[in-house]
Chains A and B, each alone.
Chain A
Amino acid sequence: MSLSKEMKPVAVDLVEAVQMSATPQPIVSPLSEAEVRSIRADFPVLSQQVNGYPLVYLDNGATTQKPQAVIDRMTRFYSEEYGTVRRGVYALSAKATEAFDQVRSQVAQFLNAASEKEIVFTRGTTEAINLVAFSLGNVLLKPGDQVLISGLEHHANIVPWQEACARTGATLVVIPVLDDGSLDQTVFEGLLSPQTKILALTHVSNALGTVNPVAEMIERAHAVGAVVLIDGAQGAPHMSVDVQALDCDFYAFSSHKVYGPTGVGVLYGKYNLLEQMPPYQTGGDMILSVTFEKTTFAKPPARFEAGTPAIAEVIGLGAALDYVTSVGLDRIALTEEKLRQEATDALSGLPGLRMIGTASQKSAVLSFYLDYAHPHDIGTILDQSGVAVRAGHHCAQPVMQRFGVPATARASFSFYNTSDEITRLVSAIGEVRRIFTGSV
């Protein structure tokens, strides 16, 4: 299942370069304060008070809030357009099917997939990874083979592969994490071998924010013939993703982390691979014909979408992608990078604060530990000031073990967050210090 790679041109033609510079490109800039204010007004949840203070929502790594456009789109769909998809001959069903299919094309465009046939709707990133680990894992892996993952993975990109290895006799191998929270690329290269059948790697670490050099790692894994799955749950919401440029074989993300509803996710897979994979779940909608003697399965993506899908959620995902696309993924990335730098500067100087994850390439995720208070106490006290952060192991216990902490507090930002909110976070951490140490 290895994939041949075409050589890329090494130098840009001079004439082409001149022509490129002659057409002025719009300058991509972070969102202005006024733009952020206007964006915040699109998210009804953000305007509420919590414990007497305006909410500062900094748990975007867990899930993101929903813009009114997504809520309205789903309400309108349920109020006016709802029907089942791919079955009814009546107008409602035809209309729902059309809207549903349109989102598949939209997702393909969002990821720059070659075809909408490469987009499978799942319940989320977790189900997408389970689908590949089960379906591809069962046909590809045999004793002696290796599945390579990294020490930064979320449990959702560990456990399905552990189980696939247990079923097939393959071995799970882990790329170690360096002290700054980046992956040890030297060890990674040493681990790659013809036995490496699958590399399952997170695009961005949910616990630390490390952005992995996925393009380079995919290329190296392909060189030994491995199939590569990228867990994009923390990637797709924060940067523009081009699956063809990355050349990944699979890319998974969740709607609810990209401002859409819960209950739906996306698996991108190269068609030639999807075509070779058996179904993960079976039932209605994924068949060509059924008799009691034999069933033939539909082609992908239908083969992997047994049962009535999360129709309204898919429609909602479409509205969410419209929303982030209209803001612009490049502007989102720049805005969040600015927040990351500001927040890192503001937190780094605080006494007793240890930042976990300091890689040079990071998304706006700040995981920290206070030497005077447990993360849960931090979470409770911050909440009393209206500041919502995550406290715990972030479903990444091996990352916590690597850094010798039971848990961390994690502030994860979205483009709708502001500098004022960073000030509120810092002041709330000051309150933790006051309560626990008596000093101000």
Chain B
Amino acid sequence: MTQSGSHASDLYQQVILEHNQKPRNFKVLETANAYALGKNPLCGDQFAVYVSVSDDGTIEDIGFQGMGCAISKACASMMTTQVKGKTKVDALQLKDEFQKMLLGELNETTEAHHLGKLTMFSGVKQYPVRVKCATLAWHTLEAALEGKASEISTE
């Protein structure tokens, strides 16, 4: 692995650590009409994502529960703050952009995107084994919104 030049503190920025410690929307959503459970069998991390989608396809409310590392939990937390109020279509586009950024397929400084605050996770791309941690909640959200599977796995 070539990670020289990167430092753990670049990855573990204060905002990320803060979201890990005090995750937003860390709740079971009683009014949810979409749900999925996402698991990473390699490490045992798992998150449940609950979404309340209105008739016109807007994410009115979202919650998540589960356990995982700081990266996965902070990502899940920030994901909930970023997709609330967006349409399903926009949320899924955001998921694609986020994933592309982590895979190095989207340069967040030179290319157009809607990532906003989510760019703070761009450091994860220096740690290929941790990309699955960062995308676990997003894959789970996608499964919940598309209603294809109630349980997904990273493997």
Q: Which of A224-232, A236-244, A276-284, A369-377 contacts B (4 or more CB under 8 A)?
A: A369-377
Q: Quick check: is B33 within 8 A (CB to CB) of the other chain?
A: no
Q: Quick check: is A24 within 8 A (CB to CB) of the other chain?
A: no
Which residues does chain A contribute within 8 Å of B67, judged by CB atoms?
406
**B119 to A: closest C-beta gap in Å:** 20
Q: Are A392 and B9 in contact (CB under 8 A)?
A: no
Q: Are A376 and B12 in contact (CB under 8 A)?
A: no
Selected from A380, A393, A400, A407, the residue in CB contact (under 8 A) with B11 is A380
Q: Are A381 and B12 in contact (CB under 8 A)?
A: yes
Q: Give the CA-CA distance A374 to B44 in the complex, in Å.
A: 11
Q: Give the CA-CA distance A435 to B67 in the complex, in Å.
A: 20
Q: Are B3 and A397 in contact (CB under 8 A)?
A: no
Q: Give the CA-CA distance A51 to B6 in the complex, in Å.
A: 8
Q: Quick check: is B112 within 8 A (CB to CB) of the other chain?
A: no
Q: Quick check: is B96 within 8 A (CB to CB) of the other chain?
A: no
Q: Quick check: is A185 within 8 A (CB to CB) of the other chain?
A: no
Q: Give the CA-CA distance A384 to B126 in the complex, in Å.
A: 11
Which residues does chain A contribute within 8 Å of B4, judged by CB atoms?
51-52
**A214 to B: closest C-beta gap in Å:** 29
Q: Are B70 and A406 in contact (CB under 8 A)?
A: no
Q: Quick check: is B75 within 8 A (CB to CB) of the other chain?
A: no
Q: Quick check: is A145 within 8 A (CB to CB) of the other chain?
A: no
Selected from A51, A391, A407, A435, the residue in CB contact (under 8 A) with B3 is A51
Q: Quick check: is A78 within 8 A (CB to CB) of the other chain?
A: no
Q: Which residue of B lies closest to A397 (CB)?
A: B44
Q: Are A380 and B130 in contact (CB under 8 A)?
A: yes
**A438 to B: closest C-beta gap in Å:** 9
Q: Are B43 and A435 in contact (CB under 8 A)?
A: no
Given A51-B4, A392-B42, A392-B44: A380 touches B68 (CB 8 Å cut-off): no
Q: Which residue of A lies closest to B130 (CB)?
A: A380
Q: Are A377 and B70 in contact (CB under 8 A)?
A: yes
Selected from B6, B12, B42, the residue in CB contact (under 8 A) with A377 is B12
Q: Are A392 and B43 in contact (CB under 8 A)?
A: yes
Q: Give the CA-CA distance A368 to B90 in the complex, in Å.
A: 42
Q: Give the CA-CA distance A282 to B44 in the complex, in Å.
A: 37
Chain A 424-440, CB-CB to B under 8 Å as 1, else 0, gives 00000001000110000
Q: Give the CA-CA distance A42 to B130 in the complex, in Å.
A: 33
Which residues does chain A contribute within 8 Å of B45, judged by CB atoms?
376, 406
Given A435-B8, A435-B17: A377 touches B44 (CB 8 Å cut-off): no
Which residues does chain B contribute within 8 Å of A51, judged by CB atoms?
3-4, 6
B window 13-72: CB within 8 A of A: 17, 42-45, 67-71
Given A376-B133, A436-B17: A431 touches B8 (CB 8 Å cut-off): yes
Chain B 62-97, CB-CB to A under 8 Å as 1, else 0, gives 000001111100000000000000000000000000
Q: Give the CA-CA distance A39 to B15 in the complex, in Å.
A: 45
Q: Which residue of A lies closest to B9 (CB)?
A: A435
Q: Are A373 and B70 in contact (CB under 8 A)?
A: yes
**A102 to B: closest C-beta gap in Å:** 39
Selected from B3, B68, B70, B71, the residue in CB contact (under 8 A) with A384 is B3
Q: Are B44 and A406 in contact (CB under 8 A)?
A: yes
Q: Which residue of A lies closest to B44 (CB)?
A: A406
Q: Give the CA-CA distance A141 to B69 in the complex, in Å.
A: 43
**A370 to B: closest C-beta gap in Å:** 11
Which residues does chain A contribute within 8 Å of B6, judged by CB atoms?
51, 384
Q: Give the CA-CA distance A383 to B128 in the complex, in Å.
A: 13
| B interface residues (Cβ-Cβ under 8 A, vs A) | 3-4, 6-9, 11-12, 17, 42-45, 67-71, 127, 130, 133
Can you list 10 residue pairs at the A/B interface with Cβ under 8 Å?
Answer: A51-B4, A377-B12, A377-B71, A380-B127, A384-B6, A391-B43, A392-B43, A397-B44, A407-B43, A435-B12
